[in-house]
Amino acid sequence: MIIFGLGNFGQALAIHLTQSGNEVIGVDKDLNKVEFIKEKIAHTVSLDSTNELAYAVLPLKDTDVAVVAIGENEGAAIITTAILKKYPNIRIISRSLSPIHDTVLQAMGVHQIIHPEQDAAERLTRKLNFKKVLENFILDENYSITEVRAPLSMEGKTIQECMFREKYKLNIVTILRKKEKTNILGRKINYQEAVGIPTPEMKLEAGDVLVVFGSNHFIESFCDENKIPEDQ
């Protein structure tokens, strides 16, 4: 995966993707931004993404996803997207900076258009309204799929012993568990991996994040009863 543009959004995205187990190449013409993030992701390249000849140093034939995260220059973002459109094997995700930018990207046929500032505001609003959770996907006004930290009291116990359905009226969809791997540069990376569909006999481990489904009322009750702190 290649991310073009290492501003605040591009850097945050590159780091989060790396921590979740992806091999990320970060690209920016600003050498200071490249230097700042080079120890945190697999590889970084300093180049002008509006210069098509410069793309020769990038492994575009082996890349499946490219994110155009440029946020300071709408023209540069559009030119970068246009160059990437010449590679049919790449799924292009482009950041939009304005309604007219939306129109241009739609006309170019990019696979996905993102609006980081708008999305971040909406996610923060949900988080402030629905406390003590890490992330949540609201299905309607009553039900959500939510990530919550496993309480310390449950570590080493099986899901069945914790009586999630009987006691808390919640279903565990999956568990996000900490993993570690070595990237292509030999650095160790921590990331989270879903364990699949958990069985009643599965034991909870330290640091587990539970992805639960249920009513908002029961999710809040579970967090309160188990003294799960609000995410800081």
Could you tell me if 107 and 13 lie in one domain? yes
29 pLDDT exceeds 60? yes
Q: Among all chains, which residue has been given the structure tokens 């499946």?
A: 64
67 pLDDT exceeds 80? yes
The residue among 230 and 64 whose pLDDT is bigger is 64
DSSP 158: B
Could you tell me if 90 and 197 lie in one domain? no
The residue among 148 and 82 whose pLDDT is bigger is 82
Q: What is the CATH number of the domain that holds 158?
A: 3.30.70.1450
pLDDT at 83 (0 to 100): 95
Distance of CA 218 to the CA centre of its chain: 26
Please name which of 18, 3, 69 lies closest in space to residue 181, comparing C-alpha atoms: 18
* Residues 68, 10: Cα–Cα separation, whole Å: 8
Give the lowest-confidence range in 45-49, 65-69, 72-76, 77-81.
72-76
Q: What is the CATH number of the domain that holds 103?
A: 3.40.50.720
Range of the domain at 112: 2-118
- End-to-end CA distance of the chain: give it in Å, rounded: 30
Position 230 in a domain: no
* Residues 158, 165: Cα–Cα separation, whole Å: 13
Could you tell me if 151 and 109 lie in one domain? no
Strands 188-194 and 209-215: unpaired
Position 124 in a domain: no
Position 231 in a domain: no
Could you tell me if 53 and 114 lie in one domain? yes
Please name which of 182, 174, 179, 163 lies closest in space to residue 212, comparing C-alpha atoms: 174
Position 13 in a domain: yes
DSSP 175: E
Position 123 in a domain: no
126 pLDDT exceeds 50? no
Position 61 in a domain: yes
Mean pLDDT of 216-231: 74
25 pLDDT exceeds 80? yes
User: Where is the domain boundary, 89, 118, 147?
Assistant: 118
> How many folded domains does the chain comprise?
2
Cα torsion angle, 161, 229, 208, 124, sign: positive
User: Where is the domain boundary, 59, 85, 118?
Assistant: 118
* Residues 199, 93: Cα–Cα separation, whole Å: 36
Distance of CA 199 to the CA centre of its chain: 26
Q: Which two tokens stand for residue 49?
A: 């993404």
